[in-house]
């Protein structure tokens, strides 16, 4: 199953516009992960590569931001 460019763009925009330190809602997480899974299972190499990029953004957004002390 392929994912529409619109679904990809929505997930990408959510990930890129998420304010630092803010968590995604359960619905947002579900939408992002559902898009990534569909893209990974699409059989389309381009969509699979795009899904990897989305997943990297997603995992980076879920990681706590390191705080450095001087």
**C-alpha–C-alpha distance, residues 65 and 19, integer Å:** 12
- Higher per-residue confidence, 24 vs 3: 24
Q: Which pTM does this prediction carry? A: 0.79
Distance in angstroms (rounded) separating the CA atoms of residues 36 and 29 = 11
Q: What is the pLDDT of residues 13-24, one digit of tens each?
A: 999 898 877 888
Average pLDDT score over residue span 40-65: 88
CA atoms within 13 A on the CB side of 49: 3
Instruction: Give the Cβ contact number of residue 23 at 10 Å.
Output: 11
- Judged against a pLDDT cut of 70, whether residue 65 lies above it is answered with no
Q: What is the pLDDT of residue 5?
A: 85
* C-beta separation of 3 from 34 below 8 A: no
Provide the pLDDT for residue 27: 94
For residue 18, is it left (φ>0), alpha (ψ between -120 and 50) or beta? beta
């Amino acid at each position: 199953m392929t994912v529409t460019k619109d679904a990809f763009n929505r997930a990408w925009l959510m990930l890129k516009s998420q304010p630092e330190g803010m968590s995604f809602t359960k619905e947002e997480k579900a939408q992002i992960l559902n898009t990534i899974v569909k893209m990974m299972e699409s059989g389309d190499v381009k969509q699979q590569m795009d899904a990897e990029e989305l997943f990297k953004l997603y995992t980076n957004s879920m990681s706590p931001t390191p705080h450095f002390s001087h």
